[in-house]
Amino acid sequence: MNRKPIFAANWKMNKGASETEDFVKSFLSKLQGQDFPCEIVIAPPFVSLPKLADLLHTATAVQNAHAIQIAAQNCSQFDAGAYTGEISVLMLREFFVHYVILGHSERRAIYGETDAVINAKIKKAREANLKPIFCIGETLAEREGGKLESVLRTQVTEGLKDISEKDLADIVIAYEPVWAIGTGVTATSQQAQDAHAFVRSLVAELYGQDAASRIRIQYGGSVKPNNAAELMACPDIDGALIGGAALEPQSFLEIIRNGSSQSEE
């Protein structure tokens, strides 16, 4: 199965509008004349979405801008109304947002998002035709306690509950072991491959082999230019969700370059 790798920058709570502009201008000039066989996605904070949308979609003079898709880092599970501090899927659509990161471990751990909430958000995102980047992953204690597979099974099964096979086709899964996020400790390529293969087998149980072989599963957790190639060479790894190393245009580009050359093989 030929799955197009997807490299997504999750900027988390970094880069307001002016830093977004600086990054994008530099990144686009570096991207100039290069054509990578992958999708490139940037997920800035909400307040930087208008600037990013403007730079990528309305500034027609910008070359290569079409090569980059916009993601949000979260969305509400509700349509509209009395939800202070929340952002709806329709608001995101106004800024050419195509993807939305849901279920990130920081949302789960710091903001108490449950599998049920994440499931509701995935459904709401699909109603607006947004493509969820659905994050899963175990903590170190869970891995060391032999619970890796049961944790992933629960997250996948509950997160995708009542999601149709048609909607699944527009979902990307991001496997991000919590202990590898922002720590500089990357999963070994074997650990990552094993987890990805297991996640794909869970999707096969739920949706069948065809859907499982089509779904893209990104790896996230301390992905850097010097480990991207090895990780992306694994058969079940279809791109990366990158935090810290995607804050600099040059290192994001090097991850894409090193990683997408491997995925082609």
244 in contact with ligand 13P (CB under 6 A): yes
20 in contact with ligand 13P (CB under 6 A): no
- The nearest distance, CB 25 to ligand 13P, in angstroms, is 23
* Helix, strand, coil in percent for the chain, rounding step 5: 50, 15, 35
223 in contact with ligand 13P (CB under 6 A): yes
**Burial profile 155-185: b = 16 or more Cβ within 10 angstroms, e = fewer:** bbeebbeebeeebbeebbbbbbbbbbbeeee
- C-alpha to C-alpha distance for 236 and 3, rounded to whole angstroms: 10
Question: What is the DSSP secondary structure assignment for residue 67, as one 8-state letter?
Answer: G
Q: With contact defined as beta carbons under 8 Å apart, do 5 and 259 qualify?
A: yes
Q: Which of 207, 193, 169 is nearest to 3 (CA)?
A: 169
5 in contact with ligand 13P (CB under 6 A): no
Give, for 143, the enclosing helix (H) or strand (E).
helix 140-144
Residue from 92, 152, 242, 253 touching ligand 13P (CB under 6 A): that is 242
The span of 19-27, 32-40, 60-68, 174-182 binding ligand 13P (CB under 6 A) equals 174-182
136 in contact with ligand 13P (CB under 6 A): no
Considering beta carbons, is residue 12 or 62 the nearer one to ligand 13P?
12
- C-alpha to C-alpha distance for 60 and 17, rounded to whole angstroms: 19
Considering beta carbons, is residue 72 or 223 the nearer one to ligand 13P?
223
Catalytic residue (one of 104, 138, 142, 254): 104
182 in contact with ligand 13P (CB under 6 A): yes
Footprint of ligand 13P on 201-220 (CB under 6 A): 220
Residue from 142, 176, 238, 254 touching ligand 13P (CB under 6 A): that is 176
Footprint of ligand 13P on 99-118 (CB under 6 A): 104
144 is catalytic: no
- C-alpha to C-alpha distance for 64 and 180, rounded to whole angstroms: 32
176 is catalytic: yes
- Residues at the interface with ligand 13P (CB under 6 A): 10, 104, 176, 181-182, 220-223, 241-245
Where in the sequence numbering do the catalytic residues fall? Answer: 104, 176
